Amino acid sequence: MNADRTLFTLVSILISVSVMLSYSLASYTTLLFNVNEFHFAIRQAVFAVLGIGIIFILSRLNPDKWLKPIGFTLFFGSLIAMIAMPFMPESFVSAVGGAKRWIKVAGFSLAPVEFFKVGFVYFLAWSFSRKLGDHGGMGLGSEFKRFAPYGVVFLGAMFIIAFLQKDLGQVVVLGMTLLFMLIFAGSSFRFFLTILGGIFMAIVIFIFTAEHRILRIKSWWALAQNSVLDLLPASLAEKLRVPVEVEPYQIGHSLNAIHHGGLFGVGIGNGTFKLGFLSEVHTDFVLAGLAEEFGFFGVVFVVVVFLWMLQRIFKVANRAKDRTIYLFSIGIGLILSFAFLVNAYGISGITPIKGISVPFLSYGGSAMLGAAFGVGMVLMASNKVDMNGDNKL
């Protein structure tokens, strides 16, 4: 087999960094929960080994035989699990804020949505490669008819994830992935803009039908308003201004942590904003913790490795002759990209925080294993791709 060795190495580097950060950034959390100082690092190391193992095993498989069954198993298996979770007893599922998102397995909690994302991308790639193609000048109505079955599937998934699991961030990532995959599958730009407008309206409706989402938007706006309202007339600016008491302390501490790190950081283990100022910084705020302890150059290193990983994934897509492999590789690259951007924009105050983890960096087994399946399947697919003499596994 000739899977891409460079892609495997880059992902392994990111996973290794996540284990180190899970130890360094979780020092306060271990005290808070009264667990061993290596508690989170050991658990992350277990999932790191499993993740790298999954990627390696998948990379050795024949895509003609295994890609389709694994993709559909992830899609339908995780979909059924998400539908069943609200009806399961709490002895089998973990509930946070009234939402059941995790299934308890052997002392660990796994989130089916992380595996559903990979299965959803495969389902779209498999189906788009058969049903969609160049729009060939067809009207907007015809494109909507062609898209309708996928819209129904997405709306069903959106209902489960956004309403039952109260996880709008995942819907945003899935929606953007679906939208851009449509373009690569051959839809017109006019149809792209129409669907984009529909998704935007749906997100607005979701926000204004849940009080906690409204408060999150107000919290974000409290930080961003000064730079925006200065550009507007005074009368309008006053109407849009929110009280300072809702200022988002999490984003404020995140920005201070990033600033405190400077160019070279304060050193591994020496960060201060992880000491109760940022809640569980090793998860959603891992980039802020990285910036404080390793500085600007530490962040640049991680971003370069991440971008290089994406380049290898898109290279597999670019050189694939099989249309399903082409669309699937693009979809995995997009879903990883959007997750990284949504998290980075959230911790820097550019957009509201969505609770999306950084692929391969944030603490968490479900996100690690889900992303591992995605990259592993791309590596499996790369066995059929001529990478022009590049390093192979």
pLDDT digits (tens, 9 = 90+) for 35-66: 888 989 999 999 999 999 999 999 999 999 99
Q: Is residue 32 over pLDDT 90?
A: no
pLDDT digits (tens, 9 = 90+) for 180-234: 998 888 877 888 888 888 777 877 776 777 666 676 676 666 666 666 666 667 6
* Mean pLDDT computed over 345-357: 79
The answer to whether 352 and 217 have CB atoms below 8 angstroms apart is: yes
3-state secondary structure 187-220: CCHHHHHHHHHHHHHHHHHHHHCCHHHHHHHHHH
Tokens linked to 76? 């339908």
- Mean pLDDT, the chain, integer: 84
Stretch (H or E) spanning 347 = helix 323-347
pLDDT score of 249: 63
- How far is Cα 370 from Cα 368, in angstroms, rounded to an integer? 6
Query: Mapping DSSP to helix (H, G, I), strand (E, B) and coil, where does residue 230 land?
Result: coil
pLDDT score of 237: 64
Q: Is residue 388 over pLDDT 70?
A: no
Q: Is residue 1 over pLDDT 60?
A: no
Between 188 and 79, where is the model more confident? 79
* Mean pLDDT computed over 132-161: 75
Say how many Å lie between the first and final Cα of the chain, rounded.
7
